[in-house]
Amino acid sequence: AAGVIQSPRHLIKEKRETATLKCYPIPRHDTVYWYQQGPGQDPQFLISFYEKMQSDKGSIPDRFSAQQFSDYHSELNMSSLELGDSALYFCASSLTKGWDEQFFGPGTRLTVL
Amino acid sequence: DAKTTQPPSMDCAEGRAANLPCNHSTISGNEYVYWYRQIHSQGPQYIIHGLKNNETNEMASLIITEDRKSSTLILPHATLRDTAVYYCIVTPGGSQGNLIFGKGTKLSVKP
């Protein structure tokens, strides 16, 4: 069965650089969620999209932005990177908002040097 | 803030049932109990969810107390591959759906 695809799987950036993470949801899933998991931490919700519109916002820094495109894939843009942004970033998708289980991707490991 | 309380760690012998408790004493009437697990740095994996009735699927059973203030996830025959952090999450059904992860229980299945 198709799963959530995230790219790249690993990314190394310098401080103050920008990064773009991509997420391709399971086909026919219209809802995408982004989570951040710092070292030794639990996943924290960042932002979600439903039918290409922002649905909910969590603890996402102002330096981060995200969008969902017409093909339902989503991109998380991160600017002015800080050391503390080093984390695993998970994308999840669900068939529709709220009611269904979320299917998580394998994550992107971002390292900021 | 997470609305659930779970023990930080538990051990279970391989082949035995693993019973993972969760307290959610402030749960509201429209809130569901979801269980996810995360195997070492992989993406979290959905296990099961319920509102007030007990639920069973191919992975696990979920027992919710009558007052809905606590629940237990049961893995009937734990294997080494079930070693993971298990998260109990309370969230309103039909809402935005974002998951608020608490501390979870680190389950170690031992041979």
Which pLDDT band holds residue A100 (cuts at 50, 70, 90)? Answer: confident
Residue A81, CA distances (Å) to A37, A46, A91 in order: 16, 16, 19
CA–CA separation, B92 and A90 (whole Å)? 22
Tally: H helices and E strands in chain B: 0, 9
B76 touches chain A (CB under 8 A): no
List Cβ neighbours of A62 (8 Å cut-off, separation of 6 or more): none
CA–CA separation, A92 and B86 (whole Å)? 17
Closest CA of chain A from B12, distance in Å: 22
For the residues B11-24, what does the mean pLDDT come to? 97
Structure tokens at B68: 């809905």
Which pLDDT band holds residue B94 (cuts at 50, 70, 90)? Answer: low
pLDDT tens-digit map of B45-85: 999 999 998 999 999 999 999 999 999 999 999 999 999 99
Whether pLDDT at A14 is above 90: yes
Whether pLDDT at A48 is above 80: yes
Taken as a whole, chain A contains a residue count of 113
B39 touches chain A (CB under 8 A): no
Look at residue B95 in the predicted model and tell me its pLDDT: 60
Please name the member of A42, A56, A101 whose beta carbon is closest to the beta carbon of B96: A56
Scanning A9-68 for CB atoms below 8 A from B yields 31, 33, 35, 42-45, 48, 50, 55-56, 58
For residue A107, the chain B residues in CB contact (below 8 A) are 41-43
Q: What phi and psi, each to the nearest 5 degrees, are found at residue A85?
A: -80, -10
